[in-house]
Structure 1
Amino acid sequence: MTYLEITVSKKNIKIAIKDSIAILLFSLVLLSCAQNKKNILDESKPIKVDVIAPEHGMADPHAWVQNDSVYVICGHDESWEGKGSFRMDRWEVWSTGDLVNWKKQREILPSQTYIGNQPNCWAGDVTERDGKYYWFFSNRNTDTGVMVANSITGEYKDLLGKPLLPKGIVPVHPYDPEIYIEDDVYTICFGVNTYYMATLSKDMKSLTTEPKKIIVQDSKGQIVSTDDKSTLFKRNGWYYLVYGSRYAMSRNLYGPYDFKGAFLEGGHTSFFDWKGQKYVLQENHDISAFYRGASLKPVNFNADETIIVPKDDRMYPSPGRPFEFKNSTMGWSAVNGTTTSFKDGKLIGTLSSKNAMVQSAPWLYTSSKNCSKITINIKNNSTATTLKLAVFSRDEKENNFWANGTGQVDWKKQQWVEIPISKNDSKFKSYTINLSQFQKVKNRLMQIALQPTVNASYGNWEIEDVMID
């Protein structure tokens, strides 16, 4: 008789099994049970998603939870071609029932508001009151308006036909509204560098209190300047004021708030609770600084109620920047001598002249200090035997760093590094260019350009991925 010893609930149990085949079968059953238990445990872990709508230009996410679903109203970046600084052509309503699979529900156009046909669809917040849903929105950084709908997915209509928070109502630009609800009191927080709060009327058409300045101070009592787009939530008697990747705390909604330091890495935030876990939707640089995305991250707390910032936290897609062409061209376009298109997870082009050149989307805004090389996985279907690469970089301290998002680079003035490649390939091959081969790379990689088939005037090329790491 053969005995198999197993442990159940910390107790050793001996089971008699007559032969080795039975032992094997019994072991497989135990392994299956263990695996099923592991899957159940994995499902209970907080969910994390790098980009909830990849390569779409989703920015400024604002969440609302209802009937086991999460709804998000976000802005949409107009183009990854870099037509200007933060041009946003519409808002969009998205939803999910599991935090992983997201579905677009509706578009809200600026022409449906007093803004008119202008790409000014900046950040806002969505809330519900007495069965009506209100979308408070920014007209760029000029003022704040409000729309109303009978359901969270709309259709939304301009409630006032003019700004709720007009220019001049406070000393700073009155935009980027946040709505905080407590005891049926609806508070609106808005502004930049210094925030202001006021109470909304029951019909959401006006303010019932004068806007009050909100103080954020450091440990020495010195005033701390904030950014734009405030977000608020309350936990265990503490109010949290979060803006981008920083935050402050207070025992009172109107402050003063004590500055605590770093929050999770990323841009504008929106918080919600889901199945006992607090989450944040946070803006990232999916394609570039002007064609963004939204990440989903769990938010956890220390014993003293401060926010835990994990050591591996990052703002997607850092460190580095991958171009994997899973869904689109990821902003890559032809400069001359070739076409560009997306097919079967590849960036492909057909040659028309010897000076073929393609470039990435502008304003990649990728930190160079964490990068050492650029690797190109390419299939060269031409007689070319050389590939060339150029990078355009800038320092954040340079004048007018954010002033112009057009991304027009004179590539003739940039340094080009060339490497030999094989011709008439039958399969993809990888080539690496070290950043140290360039004379100077500043602290932000803004754009890269590629001559994939130097001196070849006919044929085609395919790129599977370009990895900056």
Structure 2
Amino acid sequence: MKSTSLSAAAPRRAGALLVAVLCALALLPAVARADNPIVQHMYTADPAPLVHNGRVYLYTGHDEDGSTWFTMKEWRVWSSADMVNWTDHGSPMSLATFSWASKDAWAGQAIHRNGKFYWYVPVVNRATGRMAIGVGVADSPTGPFRDAIGRPLVENGEIDPTVFIDDSGQAHLYWGNPNLWHVRLNADMISFSGSPTQIPLTTAGFGARTGDPNRPTLYEEGSWVYKRNGLYYNVFAAKCCSEFIAYSTAPGPTGPWTYRGTIMPTQGSSFTNHAGIVDFKGSSYFFYHNGALPGGGGFTRSVAVEKFTYNADGTIPTINMTTSGAPRADTLNPYVRQEAETIAWGSGVETEPSAEGGMNVGWIENGDYIKLKGVAFGTGARTFSARVASGAAGGTIEVRLGGPTGTVVGRCGVSGTGGWQNWTSVSCPISGATGTQDLYLRFSGGSGYLFNVNWWQFGA
């Protein structure tokens, strides 16, 4: 198990985003074959998926490394076109986005409307010390996001907003713990008419809890509300602690709700859970979090995903956590530029903002690797190119198929470039990369950090 001192790394990566270094998961073969959690180089929580223009954009929180509380300072964005290879888009919104916020970048959700993306998040209002709901807005699903109104949209000390737009065009915002609140948003998505109202938490609507007279229903927090085939679904974290995921349905956006039962039973090593559900490329996907990464737990969580199929009557089946994750929904094209931070499984690597824009993979040491699933080489690749930088002596990119110690189809040497953000391109010949296969970029060299990678591309 590999761990790196962030304080030691800082002088070598001036201006870089220092994130938690987890493990060389290659030392854990049973884990290294898995693809859940879908992010391995940092802790993530509270998944909120959004489908837009052929990709799933996944908005998450970020648990700080070694946290013993819900210590969260920023939100992150990831995306995928195939449900297995996920691109790290960094942190386009943080507590600093909201000048009036003091702490707690907790669970939110983003939605697209009017050519813009609106991200509803709970934070503590510095002026009142209470939880409030802020709104970030951006022109792109990956940001950067800015404060849409310069103040809270709503504030009553409660958390976990979810948002959806009904077929009629009416937008709805829900949030709350211990209550469940609702308000109809105006078309501008940053204001509302009327006042927020409470949705009655009845045992018929949200199940019966025992042992807590102050909370008679199972509803705890973290609603995810959506509509399917004319039926409204409210998926929520139930009965702390440990939580499980349950759901209710209704004929209208405010009820009356009918409790339908458990989706994901209590399991995993996190005492909270938080769900998001989307349909993508003809299938349905259930996102959640657990504590499955090394060092993981209730305050160091990781986002995962499962594919599922609704029952014929519209009910949701029981879904259990797996390490295999969702199956591949598409192939990856190696003949167009692919960001190095697009990863199905990474061992030892991290990401950071790149001087050339976007993110790059860094903190690479000997034996680290990146896995990509379902790479469609077709009749065969002949060249491999990569954008690299090194403030040290460099090393080698080993292009392998099938596993981190699989068949070598090419080797690209990387020399020192005089700085970790001094970028250059390298190329090498490829032989034997045909068909659709899992690709492993394995990095080798001397001791210490070797080089960074910004992007890669094969040539036919």
Give the alignment's TM-score, normalised by structure 2.
0.54
Structure 1 gap segments, 5+ residues each: 1-47, 168-172, 318-324, 331-340, 347-469
Which amino acid in structure 1 is aligned with residue 287 of structure 2? Answer: L
| Distance (whole Å) between structure 2 residues aligned to residue 329 and residue 127 of structure 1 | 31
Match of 2:43 among 34, 57, 69: 57
Say if 1:316 and 1:143 are closer, same or farther in 2 by CA, change over 3 A: farther
Deviation of 1:55 after TM superposition, in Å, equals: 4.2
1:327 to 340, 343, 347: 347
- The correspondence of residues 10-409 of structure 1 with structure 2, limited to 5 A, is 49-79=35-65, 81-82=66-67, 84-107=68-91, 108-116=93-101, 118-139=102-123, 142-167=131-156, 173-182=157-166, 183-219=168-204, 224-244=217-237, 245-265=245-265, 267-287=273-293, 288=296, 289-310=298-319, 313-314=320-321, 327-328=347-348, 344=367
Aligned to 1:280, the other structure's residue is in SS state strand
2:107 partner letter: A
CA deviation digits over 1:304-334, x for unaligned, max 9?
3221115xx23769xxxxxxx973499xxxx
Task: Mark the CA change 1:343 to 1:217 in structure 2 (over 3 Å): closer, same or farther.
Answer: farther
Determine the structure 1 residue equivalent to 2:29.
none
Deviation at 1:179, TM superposition (A): 0.5
Q: Tell me which stretches of 4 or more aligned residues in structure 1 moved more than 4 Å.
A: 219-223
Determine if contact 1:144/1:177 at 8 Å carries over to the other structure: yes
Query: Are the structure 2 counterparts of residues 262 and 188 from structure 1 closer, same or farther at C-alpha, using a change threshold of 3 Å?
Result: same
CA distance in 2, matches of 1:251, 1:285: 35
Aligned partner of residue 180 in structure 2, secondary structure: strand
Q: Which amino acid aligns with 2:221?
A: D
Is the 1:240–1:250 Cα contact (8 Å) retained in structure 2? yes
Distance, in Å, in 2 between the alignment partners of 1:314 and 1:205 is 36
| Aligned residues of 1:90 and 1:119 also touching (Cα < 8 A) | no
> Which residue matches 1:446?
none
What's the CA shift for 1:62? 1.1
Q: Percent identity over the alignment?
A: 28
The two structures have a TM-score, normalised by structure 1, of 0.53
Equivalent residue, structure 1, for 2:401: none
- Distance of 1:273 and 1:209 partners within structure 2: 32
Structure 1 SS opposite 2:220? coil
Alignment deviations for residues 364-407 of structure 1 (CA, whole Å, 9 cap, x no partner): xxxxxxxxxxxxxxxxxxxxxxxxxxxxxxxxxxxxxxxxxxxx
Structure 1 residues 281 and 49, CA, compared in 2 at 3 Å: closer, same or farther?
Answer: farther
The DSSP-based 3-state class of the residue aligned with 1:111 is helix
Q: CA deviation at 1:120?
A: 1.3
- Partner amino acid, structure 2, of 1:306: T
Larger Rg: 1
Contact 1:285/1:315 (8 A) holds in 2: no
Structure 2: gaps (5+ residues): 1-33, 125-129, 209-215, 238-244, 268-272, 325-344, 351-363, 370-460
Letter in 2 for 1:307: I
* Greater shift in the superposed pair: 218-227 or 249-258: 218-227
Give the 3-state SS of the residue equivalent to 1:123 in structure 2: coil
Alpha carbons 1:125, 1:136 under 8 Å: kept = yes
Opposite residue 307 of structure 2, the aligned amino acid is P
